[in-house]
Structure 1
Amino acid sequence: MAGVARAEGADTPAAARASGEAPGGPGASTVFTPADKTGFGTSRTKESLVWFTLQGGRMSETYYPDLSTPAARQTQLVVTDGRTFVERLSDGESRTELCGRDGAPVYRLTSKGTGWCAVTRYVTDPERASVLIDVDVRSETNAPLRVFLLHDPSLSGDGDDDSAFPQDGALVAKDKHAASALVAHDGFAESTVGYLGVNDGWSELSENNGNLEHHYATAGPGNVLQTGRLRIDGRTRTRQTVVLGFGEKPADAVSTARRSLRRGFDAAARAYERGWSDYLAGLPGTPGSLRTPSQQALYTASVVTLAAGEDKRNPGAFIASPSMPWDFASRHVVPETGPYHLVWPRDQYQIGTGLLAAGDRAAAERALDFMLRTQESDGHWAQNCKVDGEPFWTNIQLDETAAPMLLAWLLDRHDARTLDRLVRAADFILGFKSEEGYKAPYSQQERWEEQSGYSPSTIASVIAGLVCLGDLLERGGQGEKAAEYLKAADKWQKSVEDWTVTTKGPDSSEPYYLRLTKNGKPDSGMKYELGNNIETPVDQRTVVDAGFLELVRLGVKRADDPVILNSLAVVDRKLAVDTPSGRHWYRYSGDGYGEQPNGEQWTVNRPEVKTTHGRLWPIFSGERGEYELLCGDRQSAAGRLRDMASTAGETLMLPEQVWDDRPPVPREQSGTGTASATPLAWTHAQYVRLARSLERGTPVEYPTVVAERYLRR
């Protein structure tokens, strides 16, 4: 308690020094930090409505009060001697380590600069909405240092309408819906607020040799930045605890931060670790197929990443990634931040089956329940939604409407309420008709969002979904309803090749599956624009992907089907790249969903950006491994798991994409993560599923009822 009294007393002079209102608002527009995260953490408790991410030597987005709402853009240190150098942690050499006991997402970030070393650790308080940062900065030359804390709030997902001011020794920010408070154990020796790019603390420090020329007390509304100097010098004082607390009102945020500060970092970290240890102890151990400690650690990290991605106010809402890659970090592509910190039914299915494979059946049940709660009135699911269920993008993807049927079958859910919702979904699929006049299984969008048409992966999902629903109806005493769905599934199973297999394509003299056809006539040579900065129309017979493997993985076609085998050969010739982390695949021919040739970010609809390149996706190694298990080739499947593991970063985050063999290689190493969404929950779910499938000898999500219908006749 004595330490708390000193902290509160020490804050008062800092608050008194700052005065007046910062000019120059509203400041530059908010752009969120890069998406290749090296840390993602939260407690296991429902009381702590906060999540943090790490990237590039700093704490990047912090989410509050839910996982669809970023509440801070970044929080990081600036170290200076006040004369010769001014350095942010993000500017220099840094290393992030996963250091939590039993796999808990506790992180240690070590940064080095001109004669100094900084070590920061991060956890959230399990009892309240706050992030605690343990700061340890040491001078390596014995010269005294000044250490500043920079904080960029973006409350309610919008950093352009915040106001900042001091309150009770805290640096407080607020907007109409939420507030944040930044406190330090020994208070701030001086502080200021300003507008990004105008008179923010970093601009002041970098332009004035590490000194604050102004000490503004208030700013906003606008894109405000808060800066406070910690009472450490790197010699006699090296360590401080900093807390970022949140609440609906400023007083709530200050109270939350103060209570966490009184608890202290070490006590909060112990409770934080204990919560994760207890969770993991309740699950089966790592699969026997994982032979090395590094593989086992990645499996545990994958389970933790999936579990951490569930919203606490909306149980069962699992986001795709706690990141905003490329131009999604601005307002250029979408009016709000997103869309990765949203819930996608397709990703929800991937995450649900991953957690089910890990032994967390309750989480998979919650994932299904969330989907049932957010079903549209006509029976389909929106393309994605916020964690509270509000639709975000509303395009129709039939595989997403079939996904709940597949998950329900794996969970043996045939209660009346579940069946009623799934029947509505099936009726929607059977009655679907596009604006062009095409009927299901034609889809307004296939699984890569960007095209309409007849897609093998979508058709596989709806066939398998309808068969699984038919089985659930039988077990639920409603077998009379199943006949119509099974009849449609059988018809589509017989017709999928007619819609999607070309016999006149340029890539093989034998039949092979296309990514999709726009008209259900695979030999017609119809052209379409791929999108993603690829404007020249392409012949649909020249575009392939590995989506046809869903036909095998979901029991619709045999693994040794001649067209499947020939299509695999085509895909491997056109889409596979061997990298130092193994063989990986592109999404489809000519994909432009990735960085520009020089490595700069992906964007669309900017005249200066002419070309972007989609890179390699590690999930395809997992999908190929599940296929190889169905072929009886366990050795090759195990190799795919190793290839996936090789793409993990230093803190065991698995990326959406990895670099291929084109520029900016060799500057960026082939086979390592790009600036795409990291961690991607789908990649982690695929890793968990393949690891557990190798242990069992068959894919854990394989719907045997579908295989029994189509493969054993």
Structure 2
Amino acid sequence: MKSPKRRRATVALLTAAALLASTPVSAAPPADAPGAPGTGAAWTTGGKEGFGTATNAASKVWFTLGQGINHEIYYPTVDVANVQDLQYVVSDGAGFTQLERDHTTKQLMLTDPRSLSYRQVNTATNGRYRITKTHTADPARSTVLIQTRFEVLSGGPLQLYALYNPSLNNSGMGDTGATSGGQLVASDGPVSTALAASTGFVKATSGYSGTASDGYVDLSGDHVLGTQYDSASTPGNLVQLGQIPVGTDTTFTLAIGFGGDRGAASANASASLTSGFGAADTAYRSGWSGYLSSLAAVPRSITGADLTTQYNVALMTLKAHEDKTYSGANVASLTNPWGEAKDANGTGDCGYHAVWSRDLYQVSTAQIAAGDSAAAHRSVDYLFTVQQRPDGSFPQNTRLDGTNCWTSLQMDEVAFPIVLAWQLGRSDAGMWAKVKKSADFLVAHGPSTPQERWEENGGYSPSTIAAEIAGLICAADIAERNGDTTAAARYRETADRWQAQVSAWTFTTSGPLGDGRYFHRIDGNGNPNDGQNVFLQNGGGNHDERAIIDAGFLDLVRLGVKPAADPDVAASLSEVDSTLKVNTPNGPMWYRYNHDGYGETASGGPYTGAGVGRLWPLLTGERGEYELANGRPATTHLAAMAASANPGFLIPEQVWDRQSAGGFTFGEGTGSATPLAWSMAQFVRLAHSIDASAPVETPSVVKQRYSAACSAVSAKFTVNAATSWGQNIFVVGDRPELGAWDPANAVPMGAADYPLWTANVTLPKGAAFQYKYIRKEGGAVTWESGANRAGTASSGCTMALSDTWRP
């Protein structure tokens, strides 16, 4: 049952076999189901419409909703999925058997603007029935409760069944199940579940997906559940079916209890049913309302635009993605993008329920802005205690316990935890010891990165370099507070050099787009004009690196590494907008980069390794922050992000990028990941930035160094020159600050890192200059050979020149 498409294909083929294999219902049903292990398993779409969890730690369950039904449920941690889906089946006992997911029109609504409380209303397309479901998680225990109203609209009586597809412990193929004490129980290793109804079950059976023992296969054959199996003891793709007694208008509660064994799961389900849906739901809602009340006031940009519910859901989403065992660990999303095409046979695919330090930084900065610094403190502790490696690096992402999920290295993910620690004022000796390891790693291994933020290609990336520079400047400040002036000087010198060179590494002047002058996405060797080939790692093909652009260079401004009006940044906007921008019905949105292959196929099929990259709402928020940095409004960007949300107020990772087709709506979510915590965080942060008239996450210590108004540029000259005893190196040039070509007034250079000689010279901003190096020994002067060297004082406050003596 784990793959809906496989199920529909197998039902017709197996109906005859099921009828032949069935036996009349008896008081003593067959003890054990045949057909193990059943058909292969998959997950569900990443496009969730609603989700929820209690705010307290006693309830360790997270539910997700989509397609009018229940999708994955996570327990005991937010990275362990245990359910493919749970839905109702309706039959008239003679002429039809219908899956709730496939045969109804659907409506989803948030029932409380201050709680993750959702209701699904599914009305049969044949007009025969309506199913109304209200969802909650019991705050007192690990149980999901579904209050259900089943109405027969015409032509009764009808039969109602709960069809449950456990995929326990992150796998769809290792489950066993049974009927026990009137409940359907299942287990796989350390995870067990119990499905119970407040009415009890009239019939119950456990079997293997797509085989004759599958209750849905049996029911679909003649619309009557015949043979029932009271156990399925061989591990496999388990499916369970329970008939609920209903009349023309029946309200009852379904409970899915979880525990470390079947007894504990059953006890949780029973206790929740005994306490009742109303009590659990009241406590659940109170928990969320109390959390929102503990935060800072809702920004004026939100209240003035009537977006308070969207804002509150965004904040609740961020909190809900934090685990309750591993404090501070927030997964990127409670989804597996295009999960319906993902193998769930125990392959260990983490989906997006893993922790990325970059995503956690985005979430934490939003929480700081919203008044939940305590959550950000928990996250920085998690990052430096659980995720940080002994060499100071951070992995691409991890499971909650810190073990690798995907296995690459992204240098911005090494830098962002440092920036977060600085933003929280974490400069104590213990934190400094950890920050130092990461800062030293950046110095030793940057600025080039094995992968940039889109996780597919390596090289010199403007967005990664921006994070690295910000990380080093923040580390330098923490170092200085701990008395390590040597480390502080090393970090600042490295950051200054990279800041001065970032355009030289990544700003092409010979590109095929626009006027040919812009930052491109990634450069393999730091030469942005050599036309090196880039192979996109998501099916996007091979391209000249100069032909691939993204808007990641905006991080240079948002993180304070470049001034808001930096000419290279401004020069790149027209190419970004003409190549990546789409005006959707919901407002302007942007692609990650051109030639992106990470998205549905051209025909709308799920991404399985190649596709068409779609639009990302979070990029609309990033552009809004850039506009604010330049003193321009960003309310349009905030509104566009809000408009991209679904009826459950969840902002997606990607939205459909063209006229509506294949079940997708132009400007609304796809099957990638909804909600994406990063998208929700960007919405919150943009709102606070609008109120502040500037990006609130910009580290002031970085901005003061590079982006604050400065009338002069500190130019650091470095030359590699071997000398004999008594010889010294000087720099001389055409400007008064460089001696006006007079060797007597040349600027002396120091050789602390011999054979590198260095000197700092303050030059007027924007000034062009020529220079050479000379060697003095006694009264003798030797000029290096070759033509004059040339430079222009950068638009920032610092620049670096690195040369080799020409004999």
TM-score (normalizing by structure 2)? 0.82
What CA deviation, in whole Å up to 9, does each residue of 1:22-56 have, x standing for no partner?
A: 11110112101111001110001101111000010
Q: 2:342 aligns with which of 306, 321, 330?
A: 330
Give CA deviations for 1:255-303 in whole Å, capped at 9, x if unaligned: 1111111111000000111111111111123111114575111000000
The 8 Å contact of residues 328 and 334 in structure 1, kept in 2 or not, is answered as: no
Following superposition of structure 1 onto structure 2, how do residues 275-286 of structure 1 map, counting pairs within 5 Å?
275-286=287-298
**Post-superposition offset of 1:328:** 8.2
1:486 to 2:482 alignment = no
| Cα distance between partner residues in 1 of 2:440 and 2:704 | 24
Deviations 1:556-596 (A, max 9, x none): 11121221111011100111111101111100110000000
- Give, in angstroms, the shift of residue 193 of structure 1: 1.3
Q: Which runs of 4+ in 1 moved over 6 A?
A: none
Assess, with a 3 A threshold, how the Cα gap between structure 1 residues 274 and 243 changes in structure 2: closer, same or farther: same
1:323-350 alpha-carbon deviations (Å, 9 max, x no partner)? 0012586239993132300000110101
Work out whether 1:622 is the aligned partner of 2:628: no
Conserved? CA contact 2:199–2:244, under 8 Å: yes
- Report the counterpart of residue 594 of structure 1 in structure 2: 599
In structure 2, the residue matched to 1:543 is: 548
Decide which of 32, 35, 38 is 1:27's aligned counterpart: 38
Secondary structure of 1:110's aligned partner: strand
Given that 2:171 and 2:347 are in contact with CA atoms closer than 8 Å, whether structure 1 keeps it comes out as: no
Residue 143 of structure 1: aligned partner: 156
Q: Residue type matched to 2:538 in 1? A: N
Structure 1: segments with no counterpart, 5+ residues = 1-13, 433-439, 605-610
Contact persistence 1:18–1:190 (CA under 8 A): no
Change (3 A) 1:191 1:15: farther
Distance (Å, rounded) in 2 between the aligned partners of 1:415 and 1:455 = 32
Matches within 5 A, 1:421-500: 421-432=434-445, 440-500=446-506
Question: What's the counterpart of residue 603 of structure 1?
Answer: 608
Aligned-partner residue type, residue 614 of structure 2: R
Larger Rg: 2
| CA deviation after TM superposition for structure 1 residue 519, in Å | 1.1
- 1:594 counterpart SS class: coil
2:327 paired with 1:315? yes
1:47 maps to which of 51, 54, 58 = 58
The aligned amino acid for 2:463 is: S
Q: Report the AA paired with residue 552 of structure 1.
A: V
Bigger mean CA deviation after superposition, 484-493 or 80-89 = 80-89
Task: Work out which of the residue numbers 631, 634, 644 in structure 2 matches 1:647.
Answer: 644
Instruction: Tell me the CA shift for residue 202 of structure 1.
Output: 2.1
Higher strand share: 2
Which residue of structure 2 lines up, in the alignment, with residue 435 of structure 1?
none
Q: Aligned to 1:123, what secondary structure does the other structure show?
A: strand
Change (3 A) 1:106 1:667: closer
Q: Could you say which residue in structure 2 is the equivalent of 1:271?
A: 283
Aligned-residue CA RMSD in angstroms? 1.7
Q: Is residue 496 of structure 2 the alignment partner of residue 506 of structure 1?
A: no
1:659 to 620, 633, 656: 656
Q: What secondary structure sits across from 1:182 in the alignment?
A: strand
SS at match of 1:529: strand
Secondary structure of 1:78's partner?
A: strand
DSSP 3-state at the match of 1:692: helix
Does structure 2 retain, via aligned residues, the 8 Å contact 1:15–1:190? no
Query: Which residue number corresponds to residue 220 of structure 2?
Result: 206
Is 1:215 the counterpart of 2:224? The answer is no
Q: CA deviation at 1:414?
A: 0.4
Residue 671 of structure 1 aligns to which amino acid in structure 2?
A: G
The answer to whether the Cα contact below 8 Å between 1:467 and 1:485 also exists between their aligned partners in 2 is yes
Residue 560 (structure 1) aligns with: 565
Deviations 1:160-186 (A, max 9, x none): 010011122210001122111111112
Aligned to 2:75: 64
Q: Partner of 2:142 in structure 1?
A: 129
Say if 1:15 and 1:166, in contact at 8 Å, map to a contact too: no
Is the contact made by 1:185 and 1:242 (CA closer than 8 Å) also made in structure 2?
Answer: yes
1:230 corresponding residue in structure 2: 244
Deviation at 1:79, TM superposition (A): 1.5
Deviation at 1:466, TM superposition (A): 0.5
* Matching residue's letter, 2:559: L
CA deviations on 1:399-436 (whole Å, 9 max, x unpaired) are 0000111111111110111111111001111112xxxx
Q: Name the CA distance, whole Å, in 1 between partners of 2:515 and 2:115.
A: 53
Q: State the match for 1:385 in structure 2.
A: 398
AA in 2 matched with 1:372 = F
- The one-letter code sitting in structure 2 at the alignment partner of 1:402 is A
**Secondary structure of residue in 1 paired with 2:432:** helix
Work out which of the residue numbers 100, 121, 130 in structure 2 matches 1:110. 121
Name the residue aligned to 2:531. Answer: 525
Is 1:290 the equivalent of 2:302? yes
What does residue 670 of structure 1 align with? Answer: 666
Query: CA–CA distance in 1 between the matches of 2:344 and 2:648?
Result: 31
Contact 1:70 1:154 in 2 (8 A): yes
Task: Provide the rounded CA distance (Å) in 2 between the counterparts of 1:50 and 1:275.
Answer: 15
Question: Secondary structure of 2:85's partner?
Answer: strand
Match of 1:580 among 585, 588, 598: 585
Q: Is this contact kept in 2: 1:328–1:339, CA < 8 A?
A: no
- Once the two structures are TM-superposed, the CA of residue 705 in structure 1 deviates from its matched residue by 1.1
Larger relative contact order (CA 8 Å, sep ≥ 6) = 1
- For residues 67-108 of structure 1, the C-alpha deviation after alignment (integer angstroms, 9 at most, x for no partner) is 1100111111112221222222211211111113x5211111
SS in 1 for 2:135: strand
Query: 1 CA distance for matches of 2:290 and 2:27?
Result: 46
- TM alignment of 1:365-404, pairs within 5 A: 365-373=377-385, 374-404=387-417
Q: For the Cα contact (< 8 Å) 1:327–1:333, is it kept in 2?
A: no
Separation in structure 2 between the aligned mates of residue 177 and residue 337 of structure 1, nearest angstrom? 18
Q: Distance in 2 between matches of 1:565 and 1:497?
A: 13
**Residues 176-187 of structure 1: matches in 2 within 5 Å?**
176-187=189-200
- Partner of 2:121, secondary structure, is strand
Shift of 1:196: 1.1
Letter paired with 1:658: V
- 1:113-141 CA-to-partner distances (Å, cap 9, x unmatched) read 13111101111110111101101101112
1:8 corresponding residue in structure 2: none
User: 2:503 corresponds to which letter in structure 1?
Assistant: E
Q: TM (normalized to structure 1)? A: 0.93
**1:698 equivalent in structure 2:** 694
Deviation at 1:667, TM superposition (A): 5.4
CA distance in 1, matches of 2:692, 2:531: 43
Q: Is the 8 A contact 2:89 2:97 kept in 1?
A: yes
SS of equivalent residue, structure 2 residue 63: strand
Select which of 421, 432, 450 maps to 1:419.
Answer: 432
Check if 1:681 corresponds to 2:680. Answer: no
- Distance (whole Å) between structure 1 residues aligned to residue 381 and residue 198 of structure 2: 43
Return the alpha-carbon distance in structure 2 between the equivalents of residues 427 and 329 of structure 1: 42
- Letter of the 1:234 partner, please give it: T
- 1:571 maps to a residue whose letter is V
The residue identity in structure 2 corresponding to 1:98 is L
* Number of residue equivalences: 679
Residues 640 and 454 of structure 1: CA distance in aligned 2, closer, same or farther (over 3 Å): same
Q: What SS is found at the alignment partner of 1:188?
A: coil
For residue 404 of structure 1, what is the amino acid of its counterpart?
P
Is residue 2:52 matched to residue 1:38? no
Residue number in structure 2 paired with 1:607? none
Q: 1:15 to 1:398 in 2, by over 3 A?
A: farther
Residue correspondence of structure 1 range 178-197 to structure 2 within 5 A: 178-197=191-210
Counterparts of residues 627-642 of structure 1 (less than 5 Å): 627-634=626-633, 637-642=634-639
* Distance of aligned partners of 1:367 and 1:525 in 2 relative to their CA distance in 1, 3 Å threshold: same
